[in-house]
Amino acid sequence: MRIGKRLYWIFQLSGWGLFALANVFFAFIFDQVEWKFCFRVAIYIASGLLLSHCMRWVIHKTNILYKPLQAQITSFISITLVFSMLLGIAETYLLQYFNIQQKQFSSKEVAIPKVILWNAFYSFIYLLIWNCIYFIYHYIEKSRKQQFDTLKLEALVKELELKTIKAHINPHFIFNSLNSIRALVDENPERARKAVTELSNILRSSMQIEKAETVNFEKELNIVKDYLALENMRFEDRLKVEYEIDEDTLDQQVPPMMLQTLVENAIKHGISRQMNGGVVKVVSDFRNGCHELIVQNTGHLNGALNGYMGFGLSSTQNRLHLLYGEKANFEIRQATPTLVEAKLSIPVEAK
């Protein structure tokens, strides 16, 4: 038996059981407990249990729960009227058959239609309560399911977006690296071979972390060091690399390839455009309760100041938002007239 059906029968039997106990309790207080009373209650409970279950069957068969709210309310009232009349008829004739009618209805002068209407009136109240509980339960359950489905859909969309961003980042990075190697092939074959080795190390690391949403900062930093070593072969004396790393940050979790993207951006839009080259500095520290990653490079900020960011920087913003929401922050600014600074603030992982 499914959980939903089991829960339904628990509520069904519990509800009618409580109804029976309440009747017996008040009858006991007013000293009206007798075998005829108990028999009447038993007949009414059995009839109510059977007809309310049939009412549930009709509700499901007519798909009332999937109709608009106003149509649901109208249908529930109509069904309650019909089944309360059926319950009134069943109670009247069963009590008459067993000759256990209530005293006010035992006289032959009382017309049966009047008795049926009286019993149907009270049955309408009980069945209306039953339907209200049933309606409210399914309304809450449907809302909860819709909310759960919405969350699942949002999670799926975020997962697909993250995978799409990663799929763009890796080719973007590979092509830039291959361009660097191509620049060395004719000029210095020995250095080109070394560059291929550096690239293979980077790709190997990238493939190992491709499936992870976050990695240890130490692994990310190693990729960045390999990348900068590769670019250093290309730029030679034009590129100076500095690191300012707090060792306590090495075991923090960071999005894979994100720091590498910022460093790549610093090389592509900063150092490569400077006649005399410049400096790329990587900083990692704890500040204001966050893990702060900073990439500084010699150069001038153009497009990002006007609200435009290339794919690398926009993907960084998107990934941070998808992974951390409002808890993370990314900004890029002109720190000094000759220095551009890109800064990531990531929530510190609790230990």
Q: What is the pLDDT of residues 174-197, one digit of tens each?
A: 776 787 778 778 877 887 888 888
Strands (E), 122-233: 215-216
**How many other C-beta atoms can be found within 10 angstroms of the C-beta atom of residue 341?**
18
pLDDT digits (tens, 9 = 90+) for 201-212: 777 766 665 566
User: What's the rounded Cα separation, in Å, for the pair 16 and 63?
Assistant: 25
Q: One-letter amino acid identity for 160?
A: L
Q: Which of 11, 14, 4, 19 is nearest to 60 (CA)?
A: 4
Instruction: Note the pLDDT of residue 157.
Output: 63
Beta strand pairing call for 239-245 and 253-254: unpaired
Q: Which conformational region is residue 306 in: left (phi greater than 0), alpha (psi within -120 to 50 degrees), or beta?
A: alpha
**pLDDT, greater one: 262 or 315:** 262
Give the pLDDT band (50/70/90) at residue 246. Answer: very high
Instruction: Note the pLDDT of residue 39.
Output: 81
Mean pLDDT of 247-267: 88
Instruction: Note the pLDDT of residue 160.
Output: 57
Instruction: Note the pLDDT of residue 5.
Output: 80
Which residue ranges form the domains of the chain, and what is each CATH number?
3-152 (no CATH), 186-347 (3.30.565.10)
Instruction: Note the pLDDT of residue 217.
Output: 92
Does residue 108 have a pLDDT over 70? no
Which uninterrupted H or E stretch holds 286? strand 278-287
CB distance 299 to 313 below 8 Å: no
Q: Helices 35-61 & 112-185, crossing angle to 10 degrees?
A: 40
User: What's the rounded Cα separation, in Å, for the pair 193 and 200?
Assistant: 11
Q: What is the dihedral of CA 49, 53, 59, 61, to 10 degrees?
A: -160
Does residue 306 have a pLDDT over 50? no
Instruction: Note the pLDDT of residue 307.
Output: 42
- Give the angle subtended at the CA of 350 by the CAs of 346 and 351, to the nearest 5°: 135
**pLDDT, greater one: 110 or 287:** 287
**pLDDT, greater one: 22 or 160:** 22
Does residue 71 have a pLDDT over 70? yes
Does residue 259 have a pLDDT over 50? yes
pLDDT digits (tens, 9 = 90+) for 128-165: 989 888 888 888 888 888 888 777 767 766 665 566 55
Please tell me the pTM assigned to this model: 0.52
User: What's the rounded Cα separation, in Å, for the pair 320 and 312?
Assistant: 12
Instruction: Note the pLDDT of residue 218.
Output: 92
CB distance 237 to 275 below 8 Å: no
User: What's the rounded Cα separation, in Å, for the pair 133 and 138?
Assistant: 9
User: What's the rounded Cα separation, in Å, for the pair 256 and 264?
Assistant: 14
Q: Which of 90-94, 214-218, 344-348 has the lowest mean pLDDT?
A: 90-94
Give the pLDDT band (50/70/90) at residue 247. Answer: very high
Give the pLDDT band (50/70/90) at residue 37. Answer: confident
Instruction: Note the pLDDT of residue 282.
Output: 96
pLDDT digits (tens, 9 = 90+) for 310-347: 556 777 787 788 788 888 999 999 999 899 999 999 98
Most confident range, picked from 19-33, 279-293, 306-320: 279-293
Q: Which residues of 204-232 are buried (b: 16+ CB within 10 A; e: fewer)?
A: ebbeebeeeebbbbebbbebbbbbbebbb
User: What's the rounded Cα separation, in Å, for the pair 296 and 283?
Assistant: 8
Does residue 171 have a pLDDT over 80? no
Mean pLDDT of the chain: 81
